[in-house]
Homo-oligomer: A and B are copies of this chain.
Amino acid sequence: MEVSEIPVRTLAEIEAQVEAEKQSKEAREYDPSRFYHPAVTVDLVIFTLSERDLQVLLIHRDHWPFKGRWALPGGFVQEKEALSQAAHRQLQEETGVSEVFLEQLHTFGHPHRDPRMRVVTVAYYALVPADKLPPSTEGVRWWSIYQLPELAFDHDRILDLALNRLRRKIMDTNVAFQFMPEKFTLTQLQRTYEIVLGRVLDKRNFRKKVLGSGGVKETDELHLQGRHRPARLYQFDLDARDF
């Protein structure tokens, strides 16, 4: 993490100071309904990797509006819930997973993005390893990013931004490990990069970079599969810095 030169209080310190302010007599006189309040939701771009595709979870809309189209999972932010908590809750509800990579993407608030009312949505994106996944059901499906159905609202724009962010991030950081099982071969890791980036990489250069970065450590296990030379299994090295 980058070192800051701004003196920053912790969330707990801020909360304590806010709490102190609430004791003021002005607090009881304040009218919170003086201003217009739009609805606030979180929307999630949940990515996973299949054997050959980067996939995203979409939900079939059975009702108005945009009935018949597919939408990103999302929902209202509840009264006492942080934005990231709301995102984690949605992720848990839709996929059953928790403790995966989840990061705020961008906030979309165009006044006419939802026909029901003004909705400001805070978009997050999540990366889920394929082995933690629930299967597709009728109304909740994994779609290849290259074969998308018609999307509801402005969800095409949200997804597009998420994809570009993921591609930049996988080049700059070790975020690719979020897609991997605990142990993996370097060829599997290379496939992950290739699927996310949508282009092939040179095997020798890839291995040079990954091994040179210190981000992985080898195990003493081999991956036996098929009639060919077995591959060594590697693990993510938690101590290592991003590369």
Chain B neighbourhood of A117, CB < 8 A = 30, 32
Q: Are A82 and B109 in contact (CB under 8 A)?
A: yes
If the complex has contacts A114-B18, A160-B8, are A32 and B36 also in contact, measured as CB distance less than 8 A? no
A241 close to B (CB within 8 Å): no
Give how many copies assemble into the complex: 2
Select from chain B the residue with minimum beta-carbon distance to A119. B32
Q: Are B109 and A198 in contact (CB under 8 A)?
A: no
A128 close to B (CB within 8 Å): no
If the complex has contacts A27-B64, A77-B120, A79-B118, are A145 and B32 also in contact, measured as CB distance less than 8 A? no
Total contacting residues, chain A, CB less than 8 A: 66
Q: Are A163 and B4 in contact (CB under 8 A)?
A: yes
Please give the distance in Å from A63's CB to the nearest CB on chain B: 7
Which parts of A23-74 form the interface with B (CB within 8 Å)? Answer: 24, 26-27, 30, 32, 35-40, 63-66
A14 close to B (CB within 8 Å): yes
Q: Are A21 and B120 in contact (CB under 8 A)?
A: no
A9 close to B (CB within 8 Å): yes
Please give the distance in Å from A60's CB to the nearest CB on chain B: 16
Known: A18-B113, A21-B115. 5 other contacts (CB 8 A): A5-B146, A6-B145, A21-B65, A82-B109, A83-B108
| A contact set with B: CB distance below 8 Å | 2, 4-9, 11, 14-15, 17-19, 21-22, 24, 26-27, 30, 32, 35-40, 63-66, 76-83, 104, 106-118, 120, 122, 145-146, 148, 153-154, 156-157, 159-160, 163-164, 198
